[in-house]
Amino acid sequence: MADEWDWLKKVPGAPGSRGIPDVIPSISSGVPDDGAEARRAPVPVVGDDTNSSLKQGDLVASRWRIEEKVGEGAYGEVYRAFNTDYAETVALKTFHDRLLGDPRRREAFKREALTWVSLDWHPFILAATWAAVYSGRLFVETDYIAPDEDGRVTLADWLRLAPGPIQVIRALEWAIQFCLGMEHANAHGMSCHRDIKPTNILIDREGRVRIGDFGLALDIEQSWSGKAPQAAPSGGERPGRSVFAAGGPQVCGSPGYMAPEVLDGVEADVLSDIYSFGVVLWQMATGTPLSPFAPAFS
């Protein structure tokens, strides 16, 4: 394919570093030669169905060996995988092939993915280490955050399993860490997150915040001219879906965490991120979510 592309970033000396150069870009024409690029050429993932789930043992792009599916969302799946290039366990995010039908969507994904991948390492940001399109399917490799002894990986897990509000000291620590991570991202080209919510705030085994999912699929969906999936204010059949129709124009975000103006079709920005983070703070402080601010859904 003429538009296959591949971008790798590693940060030597940082946690999770694989000890290779900072940024190694590689944009392939899809016609591999006899050299190293041939070994990196796209390979089929699972049969001909690019929307099908990967299975344990599947080898993706001659690089990632699938170990287990660890998550699923409205626009893709997350797997624990073993990167055979540098022998390390990673998280591999996949995105449904419908997101590639429009060139604008592909470019939006590429822009957001490369911005995330090119971010300097930061202790409170989930490092994205590889972004690629292989055989018409989108992939982003990130650091793998293992669950703690209680099976918690995200702030949503902590809220779900907590008997009440998050302890004040812990909530303040996480709030400060989140703000420091977002400040770093904003200063390095990430204009806003667009989908701040507890499931996108990971907590590692050392108890530190790791911000993930910097609106990759949302930018793709914003340029999608088709009809978005419907969602009830409570989240409908897929709670927390990130793209839906709100009685008219398509909007992007998660019911219950979106700023009111975004529901009206205004483009998300830093201010709407602040609103979403405020809702997360409320949830940590009270142990209960706010009711979604949403018009009637049709």
Model confidence pLDDT, tens digit, residues 178-219: 999 999 999 988 888 888 999 999 999 999 999 998 765 444
For residues 63 and 84, the answer to whether their CB atoms sit within 8 Å is: yes
Widest distance between CA atoms in the chain: 60
d(CA 228, CA 249): 9
d(CA 248, CA 131): 33
In this structure, what are the phi and psi dihedrals at residue 128, rounded to the nearest 5 degrees?
-95, 120
pLDDT band at 251 (very low <50, low <70, confident <90, very high): low
Residue 296 has pLDDT above 90, yes or no: no
d(CA 139, CA 131): 6
pLDDT band at 244 (very low <50, low <70, confident <90, very high): very low
Please compute the mean of the pLDDT values over residues 135-140 and round it to a whole number. Answer: 80
DSSP 3-state of 179: helix
Residue 144 has pLDDT above 50, yes or no: yes
List CB contacts of 111: < 8 A, sequence separation 6 or more: 219
* CA 263 vs CA 187, 213, 234, 290: distances in Å: 26, 20, 15, 16
Pick the closest to residue 174 from 284, 47, 51, 271 (CA basis).
Answer: 284
Q: What is the pLDDT of residues 75-110, one digit of tens each?
A: 678 999 999 998 999 999 987 766 656 677 667 777
Tell me what pLDDT residue 2 has. Answer: 38
Tell me what pLDDT residue 74 has. Answer: 61
Please compute the mean of the pLDDT values over residues 168-174 and round it to a whole number. Answer: 97
**135 against 275, higher pLDDT:** 275
Residues of the chain with CATH 1.10.510.10: 155-286
CATH superfamily, with its number, for domain 155-286 = Transferase(Phosphotransferase) domain 1 (1.10.510.10)
For residues 247 and 237, the answer to whether their CB atoms sit within 8 Å is: no
* CA 231 vs CA 71, 234, 242, 254, 295: distances in Å: 20, 8, 9, 10, 12
Percent share of the chain, pLDDT over 90: 39
CATH 2.40.30.110 fits 5-143, yes or no: no
Tell me what pLDDT residue 100 has. Answer: 59
Residues of the chain with CATH 3.30.200.20: 5-143
Q: Which amino acid type is present at position 282? A: W
CA 156 to chain centre: 15
